[in-house]
Amino acid sequence: MNGYTPKELRHSHYTSLTVKNAIVDGVRDLRDDGIRPDVDIKDADVPFVVVLKGYKKDVYSDKDDGVVDVSLYRCLHAGGSLHRRGYRRSQGGEDGDAVIHKAALKESLAAALLYETGWHKLIHAARYDDYQPAVFVDPMTGSATMPIEAALIACDIAPGLMRIRCSSSSSRGDQEVPPIVRWKDGPTMQEWKTLLQDAAKRAKAGILWASSINQSDDEDESTTVQRTNLIIVANERHPNAFSLAQSSVNMAGLGSIIKLSQGDCIDFDLGGGSQDDEEETTTSLSQRVVIPGRTIVGTNPPWGKRLDDMDVEDSWASLKTFLQRECNDAEAWILSGNKLLTRILRMKKTRSFVVKTAGEDLRWIQYHIFPKKKREDNEREEGVVNGGRFEEKRIRGERNDYSDDNTDFDSNKRRMRGGANRSEPQQGQQKRRMRAGGNQVSKRKRQIVPEKGRGGSSSGGGPWY
């Protein structure tokens, strides 16, 4: 439904009852015996989903003259919407409305965001190509939706299989035997059992791979810490949200894979503090959770809508400190619904994607995080590419640490204008090049920026992306 649906149809029980009556009356009219079919709201042979899409005839009118398009779908499964994986449970322990974090992401949305980061590509590289570990970090995890979905993707656990595992004893039969196997044009029971067995086998193999010690570390004698193939760490500050996260992780059976910690993310220690030193030892590198080129940081920090967090700006400041201290040579993705808060990070985004959900217009923003020295080198490179930004600093009389000389104000000013020590033919050649090929500086910029965005040696993305 949406806001233009007439108020008479906004009550879900009344609407579903109306649609049900229309269906059974239509079936009765088609039957020779005139018998009305039975209705089972818990285990129907043919479940239906009704989607109402309303719009106004006249968008400039204040009258409630909405028109509704009704779409009716057969449902292949039982147990409600498929975005509910089942690891969020109600307080009573039975299936129903789960107790979730106030600002929790839908499970399906979290999975989609992870696919946008290329997490599945990193997992494929870790399992079948270069066999290096894969790392996922969520410093503000809430109820741990994103780490759990990251683990499901990494371990090749089908969401439907998770629904069966987490369903209560009273509804597990409905999940194991979906309505589609009762249809004449549906798969047979044997075909369905074969699919279940294959999914269970793949999940078991995925969990075993994720929990195993990475063998590539054995070839490196300098490594002092053994790592598993899959490393997922998450942190949450609020006690209630942390409790929900623990409950969800345990319900999903991923407690041995996802490591949770409680506290402010500014205190979330991943072993990256030594990266501030000019000389970093091999031991300190091996003790870091973040592996250069193999780590994705994904998080949904508070941005002041669903949560009444008075310290929301402090939370973003803490996130900035954490990223710069702990996540060097990593790739970070931040979900934000407030551009003013995003500016607190004072980081240059690589890419940004629009995400619209629950009436909110959000941005899924990518950042590449470099050590301090590498950030300065990149700034120098971008300064040359962006049309001599550092030359302009010297024009303003500011000192340029990246310059090879310390020429005075007047000589720099003449050089920027193309006059000082350049002959007339040289000036004419430069002008002709600018007219013929457009802005050569812009062309150089387009060559460099995508290279950083797609990964490689100069970015945190790595060759897997």
Q: CATH number of the domain at 107-369, out of 3.40.50.150, 3.40.50.2000, 3.40.190.10, 3.40.630.10?
A: 3.40.50.150
Residue type, 92: G
Tell me what percent of the residues of the chain surpass a pLDDT of 90: 36
Comparing 185-194, 265-274, 447-456, the range with the smallest average pLDDT is 447-456
Q: Which residues contact 292 (CB under 8 A, 6 or more apart)?
A: 328, 329, 330, 460, 462
Find out whether 68 and 54 touch, Cβ atoms under 8 Å.
Answer: yes
pLDDT at 299 over 50: yes
Task: Please give the pLDDT value at position 146.
Answer: 95
Q: What is the pLDDT of residues 91-129, one digit of tens each?
A: 344 444 455 556 678 899 999 999 999 999 999 999 999
pLDDT digits (tens, 9 = 90+) for 200-211: 999 999 999 999
State the pLDDT at residue 60.
56
pTM of model > 0.75:
no
Q: What confidence category does residue 375 fall into, taking pLDDT thresholds of 50, 70 and 90?
A: low
Query: How is 366-391 classified by DSSP, letter by letter?
Result: EEEE--HHHHHHHHHHHHHHTT-HHH
User: Is the C-alpha dihedral spanning 59, 64, 65, 71 positive or negative?
Assistant: positive
- The answer to whether residue 462 scores a pLDDT higher than 90 is no
d(CA 112, CA 58): 35
Residue 89 has pLDDT above 70, yes or no: no
Distance CA 223, CA 215 (A): 12
pLDDT at 387 over 80: no
List, in order, residues 6 or more apart from 231 with CB less than 8 Å away. Answer: 133, 134, 135, 136, 289
> Residue 129 and residue 134: Cα distance in Å, rounded?
12
Region 188-210 average pLDDT? 93
Average pLDDT, the chain: 75
Q: Is the pLDDT of residue 426 over 60?
A: no
CA distance 359 to 149: 23
| Domain locations in the chain as residue ranges | 7-74, 107-369
